Amino acid sequence: MFGRKKQKIIDLTPEEAEHAAKTGELVLVDVRETGERRQLAPKVKSLHIPVGQLAGRLDELPTDRPVAFVCRAGSRSTNATKTAAAAGLDVRNVVGGMTAWDAQGLPTKKGSA
């Protein structure tokens, strides 16, 4: 990917990510597997792209605003942010993932893929 500047990865708290996704300031991308997302998902609108599929689906992500990645605890989302940053996207990582999101009492839903 010549000509693209590598982007810095910024960490967000779950509260910051939820607020920014709700207001449309960023797009939230859940990189967990489908079964995990069915058990517990952010109630705010989010895309679902499992981390193993991300490299082949980067073209589905917006380039006009930041993209924040969330997983269960933060490891897979960190890898996702590195992949997307290398492609030149403006990325964020949700620290603590859905574990922290749920622990902080942010809105969630069950049964969503």
Q: Tens digits of per-residue pLDDT, 19-41?
A: 999 999 999 999 999 999 999 99
Give the domains, in start order, of the chain with CATH numbers: 10-105 (3.40.250.10)
Amino acid at 1: M
Q: Tens digits of per-residue pLDDT, 81-98?
A: 999 999 999 999 999 999
Question: What pLDDT is attached to residue 27?
Answer: 98
- Cα separation, 85 vs 75, whole angstroms: 16
Which candidate, 37, 39, 46, 52, places its Cα nearest to that of 83? 52
- Cα dihedral 89/109/105/37 (nearest 10): -50
- Cα separation, 87 vs 38, whole angstroms: 29
